[in-house]
Amino acid sequence: MLSEKIVTLRRKNGLSQEQLAEKIGVSRQAISKWEGGLSTPELDKLRALSECFQITMDELTENQAAPVAGKAAEGEQNSPLKSTGESKLGICLCILGAVCLILVGLLTVLYPSSARELNESSMITLNGTGILIALFLLLMIVGVILVFKKK
Q: One digit per residue, pLDDT tens: the chain, 151 residues? A: 888 899 999 999 999 999 999 999 999 999 999 999 899 899 899 899 999 999 998 888 886 544 444 444 444 444 454 567 777 888 888 888 888 888 877 877 888 787 677 667 655 555 667 777 788 888 888 888 887 776 4
Structure confidence at residue 26 (pLDDT): 93
Structure confidence at residue 67 (pLDDT): 45
Residue 6 CB burial class (10 angstroms; 0-12, 13-18, ≥19): buried
Structure confidence at residue 137 (pLDDT): 84
Helices (H), 13-69: 17-24, 28-36, 43-53, 57-61
Domain ranges across the chain: 2-62, 80-148
Instruction: Tell me the C-alpha to C-alpha distance, in Å, between residue 62 and each of 20, 49, 91, 114, 124.
Output: 20, 14, 29, 59, 57
Structure confidence at residue 63 (pLDDT): 64
Q: Which of 52, 53, 26, 58 is nearest to 41 (CA)?
A: 26
Q: Which of 89, 86, 2, 95 is nearest to 50 (CA)?
A: 2
DSSP label of 54: T
Contact 36, 3 (CB under 8 A): yes
CATH class of 2-62: mainly alpha
